[in-house]
Structure 1
Amino acid sequence: MSTLYKTRVNAYGGRSGTIKSEDGILDMALALPKELGGKGRATNPEQLFAAGYAACFENAVIHVTRAQAHKVRDEDIEVSCEVGLVPNGEDGFKLVVALDAEIAGVEQSKAEEIVKAAHAVCPYSNAIRGNVDVTLTVFAQ
């Protein structure tokens, strides 16, 4: 199997450090959220994960409709991803995810079918399946 794309990002200083991609496009400070006792004022790994998952899932929705009569276009879909950090009961932590997908121009049952298919092909969904609880909510317009 050939790799379609890969990238590398380096982290320095953990949750209160910085991250930088090998191409220099991503170069930013990190901060522990205020809710976890930090100063805030910068992004954190959970926000970055939520951003990546939302964008990737949105594209998965578009992808699964390419061969269908009604194609979902960029302007027809909005995905919101909430990532939570919770104790795992073993002195560690785990993630929980809620994905809200809003699709314009389709009936509710069709929107649910599309989102279910997208969840089966999305790389983020596939990477965390069985390890992270994901709640899907679908809204049709």
Structure 2
Amino acid sequence: MTQADKILYTGKTHVTGGRDGAARSSDGQLDVKLSPPGSSASGTNPEQMLAAGWSACFIGAMGLAAQKLQVALPRDTAVDAEIDLAVKDSSYFLRARLNVSVPGVEAEVAQALVDAAHQTCPYSKATRGNIDVVITVV
């Protein structure tokens, strides 16, 4: 395990029932019903949760990059994430697309922010080399 100088936060959850179950955080702030992707059952699924978490983290990393580049990151910066649960030869895998909108920022600057964020975002680091990821400035 990689050594850390400091632990900033530890997210703790308890999940029961897998994709047909429930997830609750230790502090009670997250309390969701889980359902399989594409089903009509109420609840969310792990792919949606990954998409939301990665998007939020990515925008945070863009904010840090904007500070370093001395650029104002617009409040309406957005990431539309798509996480595919796929199968090939009976083997399941994930792949991702992040479509990033940085309104009012020049295309070259927006691309620089996205490139820097992808290098520093912990979700990007965790998935790098493990799943196919396409990031597009829209």
When the two structures are superposed, what TM-score results if normalisation uses the length of structure 1? 0.89
Q: Which stretches of structure 1, 4 residues or more, deviate above 6 A after TM superposition? A: none
Match of 1:22 in 2: 26
Percent identity for Structure 1 against Structure 2: 38
Q: How large is the Cα RMSD of the aligned pairs?
A: 1.3
Whether the 8 Å contact between 2:33 and 2:42 is mirrored in structure 1 is no
Instruction: Report how many aligned residue pairs link the two structures.
Output: 134
Whether the 8 Å contact between 1:18 and 1:29 is mirrored in structure 2 is yes
Unaligned runs of 5+ in 1: none
Please give the per-residue CA displacement for 1:13-46, whole angstroms capped at 9, x wherever unaligned. Answer: 0100000100011111101133xxx443210110
The whole-number CA distance in structure 1 between the counterparts of 2:26 and 2:124 is: 25
AA aligned to 2:135 is L
The whole-number CA distance in structure 2 between the counterparts of 1:105 and 1:15 is: 40
Match of 1:117 in 2: 116
The whole-number CA distance in structure 1 between the counterparts of 2:95 and 2:113 is: 22
AA aligned to 1:9 is T
Match of 1:69 in 2: 70
The whole-number CA distance in structure 1 between the counterparts of 2:64 and 2:53 is: 16
When the two structures are superposed, what TM-score results if normalisation uses the length of structure 2? 0.91
Unaligned runs of 5+ in 2: none
| 1:78-117 to 2 correspondences below 5 Å | 78-89=78-89, 91-117=90-116
**Residue 88 of structure 1: how far off its partner (Å):** 4.1
